[in-house]
Structure 1
Amino acid sequence: MSRGNIAIWFDPATQWYAPSKGKQGRNQIYSDAAIQCCLMIKSLFRLSLRMVTGFVQSLIKLCG
């Protein structure tokens, strides 16, 4: 038994960055799917939003 290991699988087809809409104003950086994923991890592990941001950034960095 491996204690302390977490396996999180991301679908490679998931679009993490939002496509440009061509409208005025600031473009959305992350897609709705990425935001929903972060909010799910936030509620699952009971983390603050700042902690989830760092956690997900490290996961994405590990995935390449």
Structure 2
Amino acid sequence: MGNSLSENGQVGGTAGVLLSIMFLVSGIVYISTRKQEKLGGDIACAIMLAIAALLGFATPASSLT
């Protein structure tokens, strides 16, 4: 939200917030499906974390560029 208010063209802060939300959701999904024998929760977590990794690599902070 700070990036959109300051209109500086940076996306690092917004990407960081999205990453933290994705990590939180992945943790909740993993905890809620940990006692199941099926792999649906593990696969969903792996997909979410892979998307988070791509998002993190694609949107570095301004200090890295």
The alignment's TM-score, normalised by the length of structure 2, stands at 0.30
Larger radius of gyration: 2
Higher percent of residues as helix:
2
1 or 2 for the larger relative contact order (CA 8 Å, sep ≥6)? 2
Q: Normalising to structure 1: TM-score of the pair?
A: 0.30
